[in-house]
């Protein structure tokens, strides 16, 4: 397996696996906590996870388009690669929105000790991260299925 593909797949594993853990495991586990504890916990969790996601959203298209150009030629990429890049771009746009809109609101609201506003921001993040988790799993299925 070429190193570039290993980097690409590791970036996908870290991003999609991290979202799956946050949405399916951590979220239900902390749901019963007091908002004054739960919302700052989410903020600290994202502060640690999002630098990894930034690496993934840079590395996935960088390695992906490199492989696409080298291995297939941009005009001749197979359908599964085009589906991967299409869904991948949507996932990256969703992440950028999460980072610059509700996550920024979450941090501002917590700095102002406005828990209701922080709660609204976290609800938006939950829906968007849930969507991206599904899109990520779908992309992996398409990528692995299509390359066989
Ligand atoms: C953003 C633009 C993206 C481009 C241009 C791209 C392109 C590619 C290319 C050219 C390959 C090699 C295909 C082959 O082995 O013949 C590949 C493999 C792969 N990609 Fe992407 N990709 C992108 C995003 C993503 C995303 C967002 C994910 C998952 C969340 C993903 C998951 C994978 C996986 C798991 C493989 C390995 C498939 C296998 O060899 O079995 N890619 N990608």
Q: What angle do CA 28, 34, 39 make, to 5 degrees?
A: 75
Residue 121 confidence (pLDDT): 98
Distance (angstroms) between ligand 1 centre and the Cα of 132 equals 16
Closest CA to 139 of 11, 6, 16: 16
| Cβ of 6 less than 6 Å from ligand 1 | no
**The total number of structural domains that make up the chain:** 1
Residue 107 confidence (pLDDT): 98
- What CA–CA distances, in Å, run from 97 to 21, 64, 102, 105? 20, 22, 8, 11
- The closest-lying atom of ligand 1 relative to the alpha carbon of residue 140 is 35
Distance (angstroms) between ligand 1 centre and the Cα of 12 equals 8
Q: State how far the Cα of 29 lies from the Cα of 1, in Å rounded to an integer.
A: 37
Structure tokens at 34: 């007091």
CA 60 to chain centre: 11
Residue 56 confidence (pLDDT): 98
Domain hosting 86: range is 3-146
Over residues 27-49, the pLDDT tens digits come to 999 999 999 999 999 999 999 99
Distance (angstroms) between ligand 1 centre and the Cα of 142 equals 9
Over residues 45-93, the pLDDT tens digits come to 999 999 999 999 999 999 999 999 999 999 999 999 999 999 999 999 9
């Amino acid at each position: 397996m070429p190193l570039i593909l290993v980097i690409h797949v590791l970036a996908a594993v870290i991003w999609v696996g991290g979202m799956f853990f946050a949405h399916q495991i951590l979220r239900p586990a902390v749901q019963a906590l007091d908002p004054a504890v739960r919302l700052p916990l989410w903020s600290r969790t994202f502060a640690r996870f999002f630098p990894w996601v930034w690496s993934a959203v840079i590395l996935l298209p960088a390695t992906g388009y490199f492989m696409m150009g080298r291995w297939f030629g941009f005009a001749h990429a197979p359908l599964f690669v085009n589906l991967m890049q299409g869904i991948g771009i949507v996932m990256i746009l969703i992440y950028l929105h999460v980072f610059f809109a509700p996550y920024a609101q979450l941090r501002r609201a917590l700095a102002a000790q406005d828990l209701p506003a922080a709660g609204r921001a976290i609800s938006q993040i939950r829906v968007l991260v849930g969507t991206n988790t599904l899109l990520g799993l779908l992309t992996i299925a398409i990528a692995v299925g299509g390359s066989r």
